[in-house]
Amino acid sequence: MRQFEQGQLTVFQSVLYQTTTAVIKTKEAVIVTDPNWLPNEIAEIKAYIESIIEDRKLYIIFTHSDYDHIIAAGAFPDATTIASEAFVNRINKEEVLEQIRQFDAQYYIEREYPIIYPPIDIVIKEDGQALELQDLTCRFYLSPGHTSDGLFTVVEPFGILLAGDYLSDVEFPFIEDYEAYLATIQKVQTIISEKDVEVLVPGHGTTTDNLDEIQKRIDVSLIYLNNLADGSTDETELQKLYPFYKGLQEMHELNKKAVNKNSHRI
């Protein structure tokens, strides 16, 4: 279903985990993030892209390599793909593909396209690297912490931030590397003010064009990270903040382990 439409930006939302796919239409290109999850949802996204593509070039940005975000990579064989260098260099690619196959087997899901780990045409190696098109620039920033291969994209001059699995209103931070996660949230704070970000598209949850809400998402992430580090998390508070907390509790336990692993680092 369509979650958000404004100007060039249309955001689709899956029924699963409120995962989003952003589609941005410009003069010469259509830019898409993480097409997902279910076959009928992919068909809806594909039909929309086909209806607007004309002679535009199709780009797909993969925000990171978690399986839900690459699940339909095989449905767009002609797209020019973009992801971070760490995404390309991921060692255990077969493991991600196996997660997709397991998911599809569990729910008897048949797909009309192959399950692939997408080959990447434009590899992002450093902060500020850009893809310059006629009427817009995509500027990229590495965003490790949730996974090591995260990627932020700012679409200029529209002020759209494609955030991947950060700054969600339905998930607290899911942390793989605590220090990296903290640094990434600090980085996004700078990006938002320097690049005049006006619209935030998170990988899960609600797109927002409310600047106070964008700032609130940063603040809430920082509070969560700080509380996690000093062991002062108030779980009743988390239950109030996140309507699906029952389903997320296990992630909070894993986060505790991630922070402990970090603090024992030499």
Q: Could you tell me if 61 and 83 are in contact, meaning their C-beta atoms sit under 8 angstroms apart?
A: yes
Which residues have CB under 8 Å from 217's CB, separation 6+? Answer: 167, 168, 169, 200, 202, 208
- Residue range at the interface with Zn ion (CB under 5 A); choices 48-56, 65-73, 115-123, 243-251: 65-73
Q: Smallest gap, in angstroms, from Cβ of residue 75 to Zn ion?
A: 18
Residue 6 backbone class (left: φ over 0; alpha: ψ -120 to 50; beta: rest): beta
Q: Which is nearer to Zn ion, 133 or 251 (CB)?
A: 251
For the bound state, the minimum distance from the C-beta of residue 248 to Zn ion, rounded and expressed in Å, comes to: 12
Coil, helix or strand at residue 13: strand
Contact stretch for Zn ion (CB under 5 A) within 108-116, 152-160, 200-208, 241-249: 200-208
Q: Which residue's CB is nearer to Zn ion, number 29 or number 164? A: 164
119: left (phi over 0), alpha (psi -120 to 50) or beta: beta
> Binders of Zn ion among 87-116, rule CB under 5 A?
none
Tokens of 70: 């690459």
Return d(Cα 40, Cα 121) in angstroms, integer: 27
By C-beta, is 17 or 141 nearer to Zn ion?
17
48, 42 contact by CB (below 8 A): no
Q: Are 223 and 230 in contact (CB under 8 A)?
A: no
> Which residue lies nearest Zn ion, judged by its C-beta?
165
> Which one of 63-71, 119-127, 137-145, 177-185 is the stretch in contact with Zn ion (CB under 5 A)?
63-71
Binding mask 144-183 for Zn ion (x = CB under 5 A): ---------------------x------------------
Instruction: Count the residues of the shown chain that bind Zn ion, applying the rule CB under 5 A.
Output: 4
**What is the contact surface with Zn ion in residues (CB under 5 A)?**
66, 68, 165, 203
